[in-house]
């Protein structure tokens, strides 16, 4: 019988194949995207005075999530494109399950947009075009 992992799936206990956590899937990193390790870090980013007036794009994801990995290059591109107007953060839901639950993350990826600590909008799913539109919408609003 396998162990229960943070995503709620039982691991197979097999060395090859089985659950993606067993496959050694690594998280992508990017210099303009801050990895959030806990709720305290998350709050600090939302309340940071240097982020005042900027939107914060929170990416709730998991390294084993296929759609999360598919949209990751687009998110990295957006982080570069909007670096003057937005802060991008990545939250691994397996490592931050309480934070994910507090924002109603039931499927991934889920993007939540904040400004000055206030939640403005959200997008469920790996849709780069819609995410781009959402970011543009909120950075152009005063």
Q: Which residues are catalytic?
A: 65, 68
Give burial (CB, 10 Å; 0-12/13-18/19+) of 27.
middle
* 108: nearest Cα among 65, 64, 58: 65
Q: Beginning with the edge strand found earlier in the chain, give each strand of the sheet holding 86-92 in spatial order.
A: 33-36, 86-92, 55-61, 110-115, 118-124
State the Cα angle at 65 between 33 and 61, rounded to 5°: 35
d(CA 73, CA 88): 13
d(CA 65, CA 42): 21
């Amino acid at each position: 019988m396998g162990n229960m992992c943070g995503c709620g799936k039982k691991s197979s206990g097999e060395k090859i194949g089985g659950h993606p956590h067993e496959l050694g899937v690594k998280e992508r990193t990017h210099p303009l995207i801050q990895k959030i390790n806990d709720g305290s870090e998350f709050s600090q980013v939302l309340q940071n005075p240097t982020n005042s007036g900027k939107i914060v794009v929170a990416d709730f994801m998991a390294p084993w999530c296929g759609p999360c990995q598919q949209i990751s290059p687009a998110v990295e591109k957006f982080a570069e494109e909007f670096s003057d107007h937005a802060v991008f953060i990545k939250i691994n839901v397996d490592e931050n399950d309480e934070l994910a639950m507090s924002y109603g993350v039931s499927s991934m990826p889920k993007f939540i947009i904040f400004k000055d600590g206030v939640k403005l909008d959200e997008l469920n799913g790996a849709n780069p075009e819609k995410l781009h539109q959402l970011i543009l919408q909120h950075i152009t609003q005063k």
